[in-house]
Structure 1
Amino acid sequence: MKKIAVLLISIISILSFSFDVKFNLNPKLDFDKLSTEMRFDLSHEYEYFKFLADMSLNSDGKYGAGQGGGLDKYYYYMNNGGVSMKYENIEFDAGIFEHYDEVHSPYSLFISSLGNNSMILNFRFEDDNFFYGSRWIRLNKNSALSYPDRGANYKVYGLKFGNIRFAYQDSIVYTGRYFDAEYFLNPIPNFFVQYINVSSGNPWQQNGNDNSIMGFLIDIEEDYYYAYAQILVDDINMNRFLKPEGYQNPDKIAWSLGGNFDTKFGNIGLYHAGATKYTFEPYGNSTQNTMYGYTYYPDVEYEVKTINKTILNEDNYIGYYNGENNISFMITYNNEKNSSDLLYKGSIEYSVSGSKSPANPWHEKPDWNSGIDGHKNSTKLLDESVLENKLIWKNYFKFNVLNNLSIGFRADEGYIFNKLKLVDAEPESEHNNIKYYKPSNENVPILILGIDFEYIWNIN
C-alpha cells in the first residue's frame, strides 16, 4: 500500500505541472500504397527541465510488425524519448532524439537535415563570443543482425563575430564498441584524440578501428536573411603535391552553400550541395571491411519475414542525405512570417546521382587499384554514362480549425529517371559482398498525398 500511495502522490505531483499532449493522425497515399501513422507526443517543461516522449504506430511497411505479429501490418516507432536540461549557457540532452547540424539548411553535411533519430548524449555551451558542442550518437549495439557495435561522436567549435559565425566541425565513427567516453568528454578534436591513442611507442596505445572526418562552416544571420557555406573532408589526396608520381587516392569531400531571405510575399531559400564519389564510405578490400562508414547501419538491406527490404539512403546517412557522388539544387518557400491562418511550405529539388555504396568499400571494386585508379585525376564525380536524375516538388499546407486542432495537407510530385537500384558487387571475398546502388533503366513517377490531423491538449 505504501508503494501505491507513493506512486499516486508522484502522479498527482506531476499533474500539478503543465503537460502538452499532442496527437497526430496521418493517412498517406504513396503512389498506390495507402498507409496510416498515429503519433502520440507527451512533453513537459519546467524551468530548466524538459521531458519528451514521442512515439508512432505506422503501417507504411518500412519495418516489420510488432513482437509476435499481433499488430498485423502496424509497427511501433520511437521518434523521441529523453530529457533535456538548459541552464544559462549550458544545454544537455540524453535519450533518443531527432538531431540536427549547426547550419540551418536542407543540405547540412555533418548531421542530416531530415532529423533522423538515435540515442544521443549532447552537451553544448554558448556565450556571446564562443560556442562548443559534443555529441555521442549510438549506431549499433548488441545487434541481432550481426552488425558490430558501432558509435559516432560529433563536435563543433565556433567563434562569433556579431552575427557572423565561423566554426570547425569534426565527426568520428568507431567499431568494436558503441560508446567511447574520451571522444565525448575530451574537448580536443576527435582527430587528435584518435591519433594520440593509436600511436605506437607508448604504454597507453589502443587498438582502434576509427575513421574521422572534419570540416568548416561560416554563416551569417540577420533579421531578414541567412547565408552559409559548409565543407566536409572525409579524405584528401596530399600526394598530388607531396609525391605526384606515387600512390594517388581519391579526394572524398562534400560541400554545401546557400541561404534564405524574406520578401513581402514570404521567405525564399536557394541551396546547393554535392559530394564526390566514395565520400562517407568505409575503407576496405578483399581481406577486410572496416564498417566505419558514415552511416547508421553498415548495410543496405534488412530482412522482414524472409523478404529483403532496402535501407533507404536518406535513413542511413548520418550526414548529407543525398550521399556521395551527387550534386543537388533546391528552392524553398514558406509564408510563416506572413500568415498566421494558413501555413504553406514548399520546395523544388533537382538532384543528379551516380553510383553510391554506403556499406561496401569501393563499390564493385575489391580494392582501390593504385596502378589503374591512382592517377592524378583519381577524384571522381558523376563519371558514369548513365546517371539518376530526380526532380521533386513538395507542398505542405496547414491551417487551424480550432484553438488546439489543425489540419495539414501534403502533396509531393515528381519523376526519377534511371532510378538508383541495388546491384551485387561481384565480390572476391566475404568482406566486399554488400550490394551497392547503381543507376538503372527504370523511370519512376513520384506521387505522395497525405492529410494530417493534429490535436494539442494542455494539462494544467
Structure 2
Amino acid sequence: MKKLPLSVIGFFLFLILCGISALHAQQPGQSSAQQSEELAGQGLLFTLATELPYRAGTYREEIEARGLTPNASISLQYEQTHIGLIAAIDLTSDQVYGPWLADSPTGALGDLNFLIQEAGMRISGGSFILKAGRLRHFDVVDSPYSLFINANGIAAPMIDFVYRDSRFFYESRFISLTLDSAMHTTAWPKASYTGFPDRGANFKVFGLSFGRLTIGFEDSSVYSGRAFDLEYFLSPMPQYFTQYVRGTAGRPWYANYDDNYNAGLFVTWKEPGAYDLYAQAFVDDLGMLGLFGWTTNPWQIALPLG
C-alpha cells in the first residue's frame, strides 16, 4: 500500500474541518425525529463526532491500547425518496489494527487507523428496496439474542433485496464473508497457508403480517470455495432444496458442494409504545432427531423467547 505524504494527510484533515462549516452538521441536542426531518428536507447530512476515552484495561486489553485513545467518526449521508447513499468511517488510535501508512520517519501517522463503519447505496421504488455495499445488517427479529444475524449489526459487503406489501414480505440477502483473503495466522504453517478460502452466505425471509402479528420462515446457507452463489440469491426456492438438487450426483448440473444449511421460524407481536413479544426457532443440520435409530446427524436447535 502506498504511503501518503504528510502534506497530503494535513490537507485531507483540513478539508474535513472545513466541511463542518460548509455542510449541515448534526446537532447533539436534536432528537432523532428532528434529525430525520432535516435529513428528509435537505437530503444531505454531514456528521463529525470526536471522543477522548481512557482505557484502563478491558477483556480486550491484549489487543487494545491502554490510556488515552482519541478517535473520530465522520459520515456523509444523502437521502431521497428513491435513492440513498452513506459513507461513514472511524479514525481511531486503539491499535487494534495497523496504523495509517504515511511518508514519515516511522512510516505511519502515529497509532491512527481507519475502519469503515458503513458505505453503500439504497434504491427503492414502490414495494421494493435494493441495498448494496458494506452495510450494517440485522435479523428480521429485533432482539439482542437474534439467531440468524448478529444483533450488533456488524457491517459486511452485501446485496439485499426486500419486497413488502400490506400482507406479504420477502427478503433475499447475500453476505460476503471472505474474498481474496491474504490474512496470516499462526494456526497454519506459513509454507502452506495462503489466506482464508473464499466464503459467502445467503439469508432469506418469507413472512406474513396481520396487523400487530407477524409470522415467517427464515433460512440461510453458508458456503466456501466461492465468494458468491447466484442461484441462492435470485431463487425464492428454500435453499435446502437448491442445495439438495445441485448436490446429488448423476445429474448434469451436479456440483460437489458441501454447504451448511440452517432454517427456522419466527413469531412477533408488537404493541406500539407498550411492548414487543417474539419467539424464534433455529435448526442446524436437519436430520431425523434420533428417530428410527438414526443418530449420525442430530439436530442442533436454539429457541429464544422475549
1:216-246 CA-to-partner distances (Å, cap 9, x unmatched) read 1100112222110111111355252121xx5
Distance 1:236 1:199 in 2: 17
1:70-94 CA-to-partner distances (Å, cap 9, x unmatched) read 1221211111111102222101101
* Of 30, 49, 67, the match for 1:24: 49
C-alpha contact (below 8 Å) 1:239/1:248 kept by paired residues: no
Matched length: 242
Distance 2:303 2:110 in 1: 43
Give the superposition deviation at 1:207: 2.0
- Alignment pair present for 1:177 and 2:223: no
Distance 1:250 1:190 in 2: 20
Distance 2:287 2:161 in 1: 33
Q: How does 1:135-150 map to 2 (within 5 A)?
A: 135-145=173-183, 146-150=195-199
Distance 1:242 1:36 in 2: 61
* Of 234, 256, 272, the match for 2:304: 256
Amino acid across the alignment from 1:28: P
Give the superposition deviation at 1:143: 0.5
1:195 partner SS:
helix
Q: How does 1:194-233 map to 2 (within 5 A)?
A: 194-223=243-272, 224-233=274-283
Distance 1:46 1:39 in 2: 23
Distance 2:287 2:251 in 1: 29
Give the superposition deviation at 1:198: 1.1
Distance 1:249 1:205 in 2: 23
Distance 1:87 1:241 in 2: 48
Give the superposition deviation at 1:114: 0.3
Higher helix share: 2
| Deviation beyond 6 Å, 4+ runs, structure 1 | none
Cα distance change of structure 1 residues 237 and 202 upon mapping to structure 2, 3 Å threshold: closer
Q: How does 1:438-453 map to 2 (within 5 A)?
A: none
TM-score by length of 2: 0.75
Instruction: For CA contacts below 8 A with separation 6 or more, give which structure has more relative contact order.
Output: 1
Task: Name the structure 2 match of 1:39.
Answer: 73
Distance 1:237 1:31 in 2: 49
Q: Give the aligned CA root-mean-square deviation in angstroms.
A: 1.9
2:256 partner SS:
coil
Give the superposition deviation at 1:97: 0.3
Give the superposition deviation at 1:122: 0.2
1:199-224 CA-to-partner distances (Å, cap 9, x unmatched) read 12211111213111111110011222
Amino acid across the alignment from 2:252: P
Amino acid across the alignment from 1:252: Q
Distance 1:238 1:196 in 2: 20
* Of 158, 167, 172, the match for 1:120: 158
| Structure 1: segments with no counterpart, 5+ residues | 1-14, 259-460
Cα distance change of structure 1 residues 161 and 147 upon mapping to structure 2, 3 Å threshold: same
TM-score by length of 1: 0.50
Distance 1:163 1:239 in 2: 34
Cα distance change of structure 1 residues 94 and 239 upon mapping to structure 2, 3 Å threshold: closer
C-alpha contact (below 8 Å) 1:236/1:253 kept by paired residues: no
1:339-384 CA-to-partner distances (Å, cap 9, x unmatched) read xxxxxxxxxxxxxxxxxxxxxxxxxxxxxxxxxxxxxxxxxxxxxx
Q: How does 1:59-458 map to 2 (within 5 A)?
A: 59-67=93-101, 69-145=107-183, 146-223=195-272, 224-236=274-286, 238=288, 240-243=290-293, 247-258=295-306
Q: Percent identity, aligned pairs only?
A: 36
Cα distance change of structure 1 residues 193 and 221 upon mapping to structure 2, 3 Å threshold: same
Amino acid across the alignment from 2:247: V
C-alpha contact (below 8 Å) 2:176/2:199 kept by paired residues: yes
Distance 1:187 1:249 in 2: 27
Cα distance change of structure 1 residues 236 and 210 upon mapping to structure 2, 3 Å threshold: closer
Amino acid across the alignment from 2:89: M
C-alpha contact (below 8 Å) 1:151/1:175 kept by paired residues: yes
2:163 partner SS:
strand
| Structure 2: segments with no counterpart, 5+ residues | 1-23, 25-41, 58-65, 184-194
Give the superposition deviation at 1:30: 3.3
